[in-house]
Amino acid sequence: MRSIISVLLENEPGALARVVGLFAQRAYNIESLTVSPTNDLTLSRMTITTEVDCKATLEQMMKQLHKLVDVLRVSELTEGAHVERELLLIKVRTSNNEDREEVKRTCDIYRGQIVDITQHLYTIQLTGAGVKLDAFIDTINNASEIVEVVRSGVCGIARGEKALRG
């Protein structure tokens, strides 16, 4: 099953390495990982998406994360109402006007933005849940040639009152 784990940890050298090392050491899988300082610059917020075989593995993973001395809080997002977003930057090449129109249209439908243009290249920015980005990439592939794809990995937050604070 797919899980999204939020981690609040000390913004200190080595803290990220400890988390990544833990996943490698215990043979846990990381699908994506994002990390950045929060409004409180002494803290970093991390979102990890992972695939686990059962609930017990997920629990053990969260306990192991929490055991790291640098880690303040750990919570799982998919169990409750949450918002997850990922940023996609994609560069595509088009050869004729018709395709350019198609790219533009697809972009509009998905609420993407074209952030850079050269004669044949469009760079498009799109945010959303992973599945939406997947679908967009599939669609745009029909109208253009994909030159490169950059995805930020998932950022997640719980809806409502629930919050991960220091």
Tokens of 120: 């044949």
Answer whether 84's CB lies under 8 Å from 129's CB. yes
Taking CB under 8 A as the criterion, the residue among 29, 30, 52, 70 binding another protein is 70
Of 61 and 158, which CB lies nearer to another protein in the complex structure? Answer: 61
Of 54 and 131, which CB lies nearer to another protein in the complex structure? Answer: 54
Binding flag, residue 59, another protein (CB under 8 A): yes
Binding flag, residue 25, another protein (CB under 8 A): yes
Token pair 């939020």 in the structure block, residue: 6
Taking CB under 8 A as the criterion, the residue among 36, 37, 40, 67 binding another protein is 67
Centre a 10 Å sphere on the Cβ of residue 111 and count the other Cβ atoms it contains.
11
Binding flag, residue 13, another protein (CB under 8 A): yes
Binding flag, residue 87, another protein (CB under 8 A): no
Binding flag, residue 60, another protein (CB under 8 A): yes
Binding flag, residue 37, another protein (CB under 8 A): no
Binding flag, residue 69, another protein (CB under 8 A): yes
112 phi and psi, to 5 degrees?
-90, 170
- Reported in sequence order, the residue ranges of the chain that DSSP labels E, i.e. its strands, are 2-10, 32-37, 43-51, 71-76, 82-93, 113-117, 121-128, 145-151, 155-158
Report the distance separating Cα 113 and Cα 67, nearest Å. Answer: 42
3-state SS, residue 142 = helix
Least separation in angstroms between residue 76's CB and another protein is: 15
Report the distance separating Cα 28 and Cα 50, nearest Å. Answer: 8
Binding flag, residue 9, another protein (CB under 8 A): yes
Binding flag, residue 5, another protein (CB under 8 A): no
- Residues in contact with another protein by CB under 8 A are 9-10, 13-14, 17-18, 21, 25, 56, 59-60, 63-64, 66-67, 69-72, 166
